[in-house]
Amino acid sequence: MPGLNVIVGQFAYLIHQHSNLLIETSLLSPGITKAPAADAHARIRFGNHKNPFLSALKLKVNRYFEEESISRSGTTTLFIKASFFITTYFISYCVLLLAHPAGWLALLLCAYLGFAAAAIGFNIMHDGSHGSFSDKKWINVLAAYSINILGGDAVLWKNKHNIIHHTYTNIEGHDQDIAQLPVLRLNRLQKKYYLHRFQHLYCFAVYGLSSLLWVFLLDFIKYFQGKVGNFKINNMDVKDHFIFWVSKITYFSFYLVIPALVWGWAGAITGFLVFHFVLGVILSTVFQLAHVVGEAEFTDSHLSDHKIEDEWAIHQVKTTTNFCTGNDWMTWYVGGLNFQVVHHLFPKVSHVHYPALNKLVVETCTEHQVTYHEFPSFLSAIRSHMNHLKETASA
């Protein structure tokens, strides 16, 4: 097994050869085994337009909400949870600046900021961006824009996540959430590098850097290029441009400049890195366990005829997995995203309803002979993810 200097050398070589590190698939098209045409996304079609699976499932879900006489949006429980994370987030921030705690406690508070920021993203921003946090549109808009407080941008996120990821899940060259070349090879359709044989060892270090890259690099690339991968961003008006720049400037001021006045630049940067490392690892891990595991499918049929044989809903089930759905704390913290299959089938339904709807999904999958995947525990999902990285690196 080569020494550390060989690994570092290979890593440096890849960065030199691919200066657009971890950038969208459109910039990495040479790394795709069979790169689709630039406008292939416009021609991809899903099979079986009668959608028997989704039609049957929708009937059951509609009947559930009618019989229970409940809204599809969030409940009082969700609002209490949202209030808890927002309150503790800002209290932690204020304590860091006003109380100037001991170094070890300051680092713990920075770690909690990352933990709480991820929870705000899972429970508030995510539901809000899908219009399911509340029955009121203006509340959903505010919830969606909570991502700007965390360093992102609501408009860019909606284009990348709601429009692209939810339509073209795990489709190489289209789903930007699996475009992490050259550092990580997440499926066999992507170009393989020598460094990838170690990706199961360094992947969590990459995940820890992901939110930093998102805030400092990827958002700006999308913004200035006016597209996410090969997809043009829906027209941004003057308000959107204004919010983008004000949010970025405010973020850098509140998370770096102001803390530096209290802690000095070394302390501020250290705390900032701890905050982002925790945030990045949590966000990336939850996504990877839902889509980048051995059980999740990465289809390649679109590379030859721009068509996915399955109906859209079946494609979502095949490319997505649930994990530890029996763990109530996990469901509470990650905003039901351990019920990722349900979320992909019904993104406009609040996550508080996912446990009930999942029973209907499993039942309908059985009736239509559609393979449903679920990991019984967090550790079993992690094992599958790690094994997938090992297998993909050598395939």
pLDDT at 234: 75
Alpha-carbon gap, residue 91 to 216, rounded angstroms: 25
> CA–CA separation, 231 vs 34, rounded Å?
19
Say if residue 32's pLDDT is above 80: no
Write down the pLDDT at residue 299.
85
C-beta separation of 288 from 320 below 8 A: no
Reading phi first (left if > 0) and then psi (alpha if -120 to 50, else beta), residue 153 is in beta
Q: What is the largest CA-CA distance in the chain?
A: 64
pLDDT digits (tens, 9 = 90+) for 333-378: 999 999 999 999 999 999 999 999 999 999 999 999 999 999 999 9
**Cβ distance 150 to 125 under 8 Å?**
yes
300: CB partners within 8 A, 6+ apart? 34, 172, 189
For residue 17, pLDDT over 80 is answered with: no
Nearest Cα residue to 348 out of 188, 152, 129, 151 = 129
Tokens 């649930």 belong to 322
pTM of the model: 0.87
Outline where DSSP puts E strands in the chain. Answer: 45-46, 227-228, 231-232, 307-308, 322-323, 374-375
Q: In the prediction, which pLDDT does 43 show?
A: 65
Q: What is the pLDDT of residues 125-173, one digit of tens each?
A: 999 999 999 999 999 999 999 999 999 999 999 999 998 999 999 999 8
DSSP per residue, 305-326: HSEESS-HHHHHHHT--EE-TT
| Cis bond before residue 2 (omega within 30° of 0) | no
User: Which whole number is the average pLDDT over 47-76?
Assistant: 94
Residue 262, both tokens = 């209290």
**What does DSSP assign to residue 356?**
H
CA distance 351 to 353: 5
Conformational region of residue 150, where left means phi above 0, alpha means psi within -120 to 50, and beta covers everything else: alpha
What is the pLDDT confidence band of residue 24, given thresholds at 50, 70 and 90? very low
pLDDT at 76 over 50: yes
Chain mean position to CA 235:
23
Helix, strand, coil abundance in the chain, percent, nearest 5: 65, 5, 30
pLDDT in tens, 85-118: 999 999 999 999 999 999 999 999 999 999 999 9
Helices (H) and strands (E) in the chain, counts: 18, 6
At 368, give phi and psi (nearest 5°): -100, 10
Residue-level pLDDT at 41: 45
**What pLDDT is recorded for position 166?**
94
Both tokens assigned to 44: 């991809």
User: What local confidence, expressed as pLDDT, does residue 242 receive?
Assistant: 96
Q: Phi, psi (5° rounding) for residue 335?
A: 60, 40
Does pLDDT of 249 surpass 80? yes
State residue 27's pLDDT score: 30
